[in-house]
Amino acid sequence: MISHPGLAPERTRKMILTALFSILCIIYVLPVFMVAMNSFKLNTYVKTDTFGWPRGESFAGFSNFVTGMTFGNYPFFKSAMYSFVITVLSSALILICTSMAAWYIARVDSLFCRAIYYLCVFSMVVPFQMVMFTLAKTADTVRLFGFWGPKLNTPWTIPVIYLGFGAGLAVFMFAGFVKSVPLAMEEAAAIDGCGPVRTFFQIVLPVLKPTLISVGILEIMWIWNDYLLPYLVLDRTMYMTMPIHIQYLKGSYGTVDLGATMALIFLSIIPVIVFYLICQKHIIKGVAAGAVKG
Amino acid sequence: MKHRDSAASLSSTLIRRPIRHWGWLFVGPMLLAFCVGFLYPFFRGIYLSFCRFRTTSDAVFIGLGNYSRALTDPGFVHAFWYTALFAVVSLVIINLLAFAVAYFLTQGIKGSNLFRTVFFMPNLIGGIVLGYIWSMIFDGILSKYNTSILMKTEYGFWGLIILVCWQQVGYMMIIYIAGLQAVPTDMIEAANIDGASRWQTLIRITIPNVMPSITICTFLSLSNGFKLFDQNLALTAGQPYLFAADGSQIRTTEMLALNIYNTFYSQNSVSRGVAQAKAVIFFVLVASLGLIQLFATRRKEVQQ
């Protein structure tokens, strides 16, 4: 962009733009602010006095948070814990398995590899509704080691489902990056007698780091916010995640305690915003890198 | 070319052959999970769309019956047009806003980075939570007029548009900013020297140069619109309901994905075959959008 530091109109224009965008930004964060504000209001005032400050008779203190943690016959911290377990385990499993597979696919490049690669690309454009019914049934019958071990419908085994359904984008991104990495280092390692497994973990994986971060961010954001897949796959009587819990409270109760729901929504947003503020650059980069997904 | 050939042959002896012994370790886990989590459910789903079934084990092949029932279901037809309208309207609004924001944020104004951070933030909030945040806000406004977002189809439609704009403008903005930053500065300088106005520069220089970003964002917002589920479920869940001439119920703000979900898990479990057929139709629709996008963006990459 060309700038004319000497020109007064240009400077005024920029100042006006800054002022305008400052106002826009305040409007933009208002919804989140409203959630925070309403989580401190008594239930009845959330609907009648949504935009007012919690004051006097409408102020609820932390009582919404206290009721929110326990109501609905399911402790909220349990949902939070399962959300965390599922997100961490699934993302880790996806990162390890798909980066290994993508390296193999890119380097061996046989007919079989190309077939897998194009199947992965294909899986990226398949909407979840296409497979949801059969996938949920599969998760209810298949066990971790084929015919024994736990079923795939628990928080500790659902990572396998996430790996299967989410592999496409990850393999696509990793394979694209591996193809752009020169062979020289891997060849040097091979000449020095380094086997493929060690080559991968000591040479290739460090080079893949930027893509690992991008893919990791994408998977974390997807899995943390995912509602339908865990809702259909998990045994709902025993396990809930945070989105399921919130939908369950709002969706299935006749009279909803809006104040408590807002408190829970507020609690569920806080970790996301903290995470965003800490690794904002990586998140924006990772999300932009995943823009290929339709 | 010569160099590349020798590199390829080297890779086959030094890398390819040893790595092949370890194929089961490198590809095995991912491939097994891919079969369980995608391939088997996908092909089973296609087969089941031609069957009558309650669970996956009692399927009876009935041919194309499910498809004709899906295509004559007024709820599904309504959901299709509603979704298509929603996708197009949201596509236009999101992209105009995102491009405008990106355009102003790449002009070196103070606080650009902060603004970018703020605009992107809603993208990280999950669809269910987004739906309930906005239903609180809309109901807070509409309750002053003694109504609610669930009372009128128009409220639900525009409410959802506002919601997805809030969520996705920041995302598309990031893609546009990347595109705008890649516009060659010498072209803009040349235009300035030749006395082109800001508007002329935008139309003649900037926009033609960010066409790849426009393609990506167009298809992304279109397929996002078609695939929308969580937000739709949380904001209105299809309400208000309308009764069709034949007595069947139409959920007026229900989009395709939610319609498929409701058909699968309704009381009437005989309709599961129909739901699976709807899902296949939905898949063909969304996948063709996605594949067009993949090829369109790939062709651009080759050109650069």
**Residue B48: closest CA among chain A residues belongs to which residue?**
A134
Q: Among residues 150-189 of chain B, which lie with CB inside 8 Å of chain A?
A: 166, 171, 174-175, 178, 185, 188-189
Place of tokens 């069709």: B244
Which range (A196-200, A246-250, B180-184) has the least confidence?
A246-250
pLDDT, one tens digit per residue, over A259-281 is 888 888 898 899 889 988 888 88
Q: Least CB-CB distance to A291: which of B109, B141, B175? A: B175
Residues of A in contact with B108 (CB under 8 A): 1, 3, 14
Domain count, chain A: 1
Residue B1: the pLDDT is 38
Smallest Cα distance from A159 to chain B, Å = 9
Nearest Cα to A128, choosing from A177, A162, A84, A91? Answer: A162
Q: What is the ipTM of this complex?
A: 0.86
Nearest to B44 among A2, A134, A168 (CB): A134
**Window A:93-112, CB contacts with B under 8 Å:** 97-98, 100-101, 103-105, 107-109
Tokens of A235: 């045994």
CATH of B68-303, one of 3.40.50.2300, 3.40.640.10, 3.40.50.1820, 1.10.3720.10: 1.10.3720.10
CA nearest to A167, candidates B60, B47, B29, B127 = B29
Is the CB of A47 less than 8 angstroms away from the CB of B140? yes
Query: How big is chain B, counted in residues?
Result: 304
Can you list the residues of chain B whose pLDDT is less than 70?
Answer: 1-13, 244, 267-269, 297-304
* DSSP assignments along chain A, one per residue: ----TT-HHHHHHHHHHHHHHHHHHHHHHHHHHHHHHHTTB-HHHHHHTTTS---GGGB-TTHHHHHHHH-SSS-HHHHHHHHHHHHHHHHHHHHHHHHHHHHHHHHH--HHHHHHHHHHHHHHTS-HHHHHHHHHHHHHH-EEEBTEEEETTSTTTHHHHHHHHHHHHHHHHHHHHHHTS-SHHHHHHHHTT--HHHHIIIIIHHHTHHHHHHHHHHHHHHHHH--HHHHHHS-TTT---HHHHHHHHHHH-SS--HHHHHHHHHHHHHHHHHHHHHSHHHHHHHHHHGGG--
Distance from CA of B246 to the nearest CA of A (A): 27
Residue B229 in contact with partner chain A when CB distance is under 8 A: yes
Share of chain A above pLDDT 70, in %: 93
Instruction: Of B8, B67, B27, give the one whose Cα is nearest residue B275.
Output: B67
Q: Is A36 an interface residue toward B (CB < 8 Å)?
A: no
pLDDT in tens, A42-76: 777 777 777 777 777 777 777 778 777 776 677 88
Q: How far is residue B147 from each of residues A232, A250, B189, measured CA to CA in Å?
A: 33, 19, 54
Please count the residue pairs, one from chain A and one from chain B, whose beta carbons lie less than 8 angstroms apart: 308
**CA–CA distances in Å: residue B95 to residues A31, A82, B174, B199, B200:** 21, 36, 12, 18, 20
C-alpha to C-alpha distance for A137 and A131, rounded to whole angstroms: 10
Restricting to B residues 64-103, those with a Cβ less than 8 Å away from any Cβ of A are: none
Q: Do A226 and B126 touch (CB under 8 A)?
A: yes
Q: Residue A99 has what pLDDT?
A: 94
CB < 8 Å to B226, chain A: 127
Decide if A276 is inside a domain. Answer: no
- CA angle, A169 as apex, A93 and B43 as ends, to 5°? 90
Domain of residue A137 covers 86-240
Residue A88 backbone dihedrals phi, psi, to 5 degrees: -65, -50
Of B34, B134, B294, the CB nearest to A294: B294
Q: Tell me the average pLDDT of chain A.
A: 84
Asked whether the beta carbons of residue A265 and residue B174 sit closer than 8 angstroms, the reply is: no
- Contact yes or no for A127 and B282 at CB 8 A: yes
Sort strands B60-61 and A148-151 into parallel, antiparallel or unpaired.
unpaired
pLDDT of residue B226: 92
Beta carbons within 8 Å of A102's beta carbon, 6+ residues apart? A170, A171, A173, A174, A175, A178
pLDDT at B304: 37
Q: Is the CB of A117 inside 8 Å of chain B's CB atoms?
A: no
- CB distance A2–B178 less than 8 Å? no
CATH code (residue A169): 1.10.3720.10
Hey, where are the domains in chain B?
Answer: 2-48, 68-303
Written as one letter, the residue type at A136 is A
Q: What is residue B173's predicted lDDT score, i.e. its pLDDT?
A: 92
CA gap A164, A237 in Å, rounded? 24
Name the phi and psi angles at A255, rounded to 5. Answer: -105, 115
Global pTM exceeds 0.80: yes
**Interface contact B283-A261, CB threshold 8 A:** no
For B189, name the nearest residue in chain A, comparing CA atoms only: A2
Q: Is A203 on the interface with B (CB under 8 A)?
A: no
Interface contact flag, B166 A187, Cβ < 8 Å: no
Give B281's contacts in chain A (Cβ within 8 Å): none
Across the range A1-22, mean pLDDT stands at 75
Residue A3, min C-alpha distance to chain B (Å)? 8
